[in-house]
A and B are shown apart, each in its own frame.
Chain A
Amino acid sequence: SQKIEQNSEALNIQEGKTATLTCNYTNYSPAYLQWYRQDPGRGPVFLLLIRENEKEKRKERLKVTFDTTLKQSLFHITASQPADSATYLCALAPPSGTYKYIFGTGTRLKVLA
């Protein structure tokens, strides 16, 4: 079965640096992969989606890459700010028409001022 691995250890970085979070999956390549942000006690919020045939996607200070050979997605936050501190989840979204979202456990990011 498909599994997602995210670094469970918290990532601490200094303000202004680039944060890089990793999402590895073990089985089939998903049609697309999503990244969410979750603040403590709140529901996840969608950030970015990248399709299987895309190498890279950007949105403001966020960048996602997708390497189907390595079965890995990287999530980058450039010029990080303390407000970026949160848990970031990746999710494998099934092909259109099916249902089973598989979420990673998330990586907690703390940006130090």
Chain B
Amino acid sequence: DADVTQTPRNRITKTGKRIMLECSQTKGHDRMYWYRQDPGLGLRLIYYSFDVKDINKGEISDGYSVSRQAQAKFSLSLESAIPNQTALYFCATSDLSTYNEQFFGPGTRLTVL
């Protein structure tokens, strides 16, 4: 089984809908991250969490919210989706003991019409 899983893998939705992307990990890492990837813009950090009680905004958090339900689970929500949130979304985990080498999930391709 994959160490970092994301659901759904693909989602098409309409403007204004609320969407939740879920991430689970079996690596036992405390640190989890949400990124989005757009052509030509690279990976950009949305939110990150260092433990269950710690949630922090990244560089592009507007329009997004997160929930850290447990050490292993980190969810990303789009409260009211808009077309420019169409992107590839990745969850990642890391651990200080390995210099924050990041382990990425397979990604969720989200399309907002």
**Partner-B contacts on A (CB < 8 A):** 4, 8, 32, 34, 36, 41-46, 49, 89, 91, 93-94, 96-97, 99-101, 103-106
Q: Is the pair B42, A106 in contact by a Cβ cutoff of 8 Å?
A: yes
Decide: A105 and B41 in contact? CB cutoff 8 A. yes
Q: Looking at the complex, which of B13-21, B61-69, B76-84, B102-110 is the stretch in contact with chain A?
A: B102-110
One of B35, B42, B99 near A104 (C-beta < 8 A):
B42
Summed over the interface, the residue pairs from A and B with CB atoms below 8 Å come to a total of 61
Give chain B's interface residue range (CB within 8 Å of chain A): 20 to 34
Q: Are A93 and B45 in contact (CB under 8 A)?
A: no
Question: How many Å from the CB of A66 to the closest CB on chain B?
Answer: 14
Q: Cβ of B104 and Cβ of A103 under 8 Å apart?
A: no
CA distance A42 to B100 in the complex (A): 20
Are A41 and B107 in contact (CB-based, < 8 A)? Answer: yes
